[in-house]
Structures are given as structure tokens and as C-alpha cells.
């Protein structure tokens, strides 16, 4: 397929899926239930953290957690007392256990009592995390800076330093940073540029990207994310992550369309 045809096809599916209709069946529906910035951040962070497995399960488990936080996550995080954490004792999502919930809550309380946004954990208080890769590394290191951080909990927040694709963090950042007129992504952060965002590489995006020749690296790791994002920047250097809608949509919503599109445009 010619490069111009590929871009035309991807642009079409971005427009098709980047609409309010996309929200209801996606984990991004959870932060859309809130209007307060900090509530959106916290609920989005948990929704992204839980984002492996079926989307329906991810939504239900995140909604369950929000109910346990009295559907006011920022207020709960800032004001909870140790006894209040007992209510999470039986909350589990796959490998995310009670001990992980306790650490997440403890860290978030410390952070939000001194800052009004999670964005500072990516850029640093002095803006010393310059590149996008460094910002993700800075976030993971900052998040686990408390002396009692359980080693097992660190697997729930990925970092490029360990060559991870960082799919869930990249998705969370897309939600927080991208801003357009479609109403899906929030665009409530301004210190990270949409031009720097990288594609959340999950199994659906991976399959479509490889079929379209946008990804050739054999391993699914951070370099694969850089390769795919680099190709998409050729189509839109200012907002490459918008193509996540097309790749994910074709992969999970209408996979049979992909082969038809390739056949028609080849």
C-alpha cells in the first residue's frame, strides 16, 4: 500500500472512532464520570493501571474501586485515615492485590497533599525530565520513592528503563495530554506536548501495525513503541498518538475490515 493511501486510510478511521460513541465501552468512560481535574486524573490512572484483559472487566473493576472511594477519589485520597483502608481488603483485579492498593493510596495521599496534579511526577518539580522517555522513567522512580514501597507493586507501573512498552502509561498520558474537539481525550495537562506522546502498544495495535508494515521489530519492547510512533509521526508530527484510535479500532472493533481495506488499496 502506498504511503499516501495508508495515511488516508488511518485518517479515515481516526475520524470514525475518535467520537463520543467510543467512550461508553472503553476504560476512558470512568474519568468521564467526573468533572474535577484531580478526580479525572486519579480515576484515569487506576483505569489505565487495570487495563489488561477485557474492557468490560476493566471498567467494572475501576468503577468498583471508585465506589469504595465514595465516588470522590481526590477527596478520599487526601483525607483518608489508616482505618479507612480496611474497605479495600477484598478488592482484587487480576494480580493487583490489597497490598498494591494500600501503596497506591498511600503514595497518592502524600503526593496530592503537596501537589494539585500528577503531571509534576512526569516532568519533575523543576522540569528536569526533558525527553518523553525520561519523563516516563521519572514518573516510575518518583512513584516508588517511599521507603516501604513493595517490590511486587512495581510491576504495575512500567518504565522504559526496563524496556517495557509502557502501554498503560502511554494510554493514560494520551487521555491527559491530547486535546481536540472530539471530546474523548481530556487534554487537561499542558506541560507535556502531544507531539511527544507515544502509541500505547497492545496486542490489537501490534497486530494491525505489523499487518500495515508500520512495525517490523520482532520484540514488543520500548524500541518497538519508538519505531511505530516514528512512522506515525511522518503522518502527523504534532499529534501522532491520535492514530491509536485507528489502530486500536481496526484491531478490536472491526478486525475484518482491515483485510478488505488492504485489498482495496493495494
The answer to whether the beta carbons of residues 251 and 208 sit under 8 Å apart is: yes
pLDDT in tens, 232-250: 999 999 999 999 999 999 9
Answer yes or no: is pLDDT of 123 > 90: no
Higher local confidence (pLDDT), 211 or 255: 211
Q: What is the mean pLDDT of the chain?
A: 95
Confidence at residue 7, expressed as pLDDT on a 0 to 100 scale: 96
Answer yes or no: is pLDDT of 128 > 70: no
Confidence at residue 251, expressed as pLDDT on a 0 to 100 scale: 92
Answer yes or no: is pLDDT of 126 > 60: no
**What is the largest distance, in Å, between two alpha-carbon atoms of the chain?**
63
Stretch 107-111: mean pLDDT, rounded? Answer: 98
Answer yes or no: is pLDDT of 155 > 70: yes
Higher local confidence (pLDDT), 266 or 70: 70
The answer to whether the beta carbons of residues 138 and 122 sit under 8 Å apart is: yes
What proportion of the chain, given as a percentage, has pLDDT over 90? Answer: 89
Confidence at residue 220, expressed as pLDDT on a 0 to 100 scale: 96
Residue-range definition of the domain harbouring residue 158:
3-265
Stretch 155-178: mean pLDDT, rounded? Answer: 98
For the chain, what is the domain count? Answer: 1
Instruction: Compute φ and ψ for 93, nearest 5 degrees.
Output: -135, 105
Residue located via cell numbers 482495496: 264
Closest among 244, 264, 259 to 13, alpha carbons compared: 244
Confidence at residue 127, expressed as pLDDT on a 0 to 100 scale: 56
Confidence at residue 147, expressed as pLDDT on a 0 to 100 scale: 92
- Res. 112 pLDDT band, cuts 50 70 90: very high
Q: How far apart are CA 224 and CA 120, in angstroms?
A: 27
The answer to whether the beta carbons of residues 185 and 198 sit under 8 Å apart is: no
Confidence at residue 261, expressed as pLDDT on a 0 to 100 scale: 78
Whole-model pTM: value is 0.95
Amino acid at each position: 500500500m502506498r504511503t499516501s493511501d495508508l495515511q488516508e486510510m488511518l485518517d479515515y478511521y481516526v475520524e470514525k472512532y475518535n467520537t463520543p460513541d467510543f467512550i461508553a465501552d472503553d476504560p476512558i468512560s470512568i474519568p468521564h464520570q467526573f468533572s474535577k481535574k484531580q478526580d479525572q486524573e486519579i480515576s484515569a490512572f487506576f483505569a489505565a493501571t487495570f487495563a489488561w484483559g477485557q474492557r468490560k472487566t476493566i471498567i467494572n473493576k475501576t468503577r468498583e474501586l471508585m465506589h469504595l472511594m465514595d465516588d470522590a477519589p481526590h477527596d478520599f485520597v487526601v483525607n483518608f485515615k489508616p482505618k479507612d483502608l480496611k474497605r479495600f481488603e477484598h478488592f482484587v483485579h487480576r494480580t493487583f492485590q490489597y497490598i498494591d492498593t494500600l501503596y497506591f493510596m498511600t503514595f497518592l495521599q502524600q503526593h496530592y497533599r503537596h501537589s494539585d496534579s500528577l503531571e509534576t511526577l512526569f516532568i519533575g518539580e523543576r522540569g528536569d525530565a526533558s525527553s518523553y522517555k525520561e519523563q516516563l522513567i521519572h514518573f516510575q522512580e518518583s512513584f516508588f520513592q517511599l521507603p516501604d514501597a513493595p517490590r511486587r507493586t512495581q510491576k504495575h507501573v512500567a518504565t522504559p528503563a526496563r524496556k517495557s512498552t509502557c502501554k498503560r502509561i502511554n494510554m493514560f498520558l494520551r487521555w491527559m495530554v491530547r486535546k481536540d474537539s472530539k471530546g474523548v481525550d481530556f487534554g487537561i495537562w499542558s506541560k507535556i506536548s502531544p507531539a511527544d506522546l507515544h502509541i500505547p502498544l497492545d496486542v490489537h495495535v501490534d497486530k494491525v501495525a505489523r499487518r500495515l508494515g508500520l512495525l517490523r521489530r520482532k520484540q514488543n519492547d520500548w524500541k518497538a513503541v519508538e519505531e511505530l510512533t516514528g512512522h506515525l509521526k511522518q503522518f502527523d508530527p504534532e499529534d501522532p498518538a491520535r492514530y491509536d484510535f485507528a489502530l486500536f479500532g481496526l484491531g478490536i472493533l472491526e478486525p475484518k475490515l482491515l483485510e478488505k481495506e488492504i485489498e482495496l488499496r493495494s
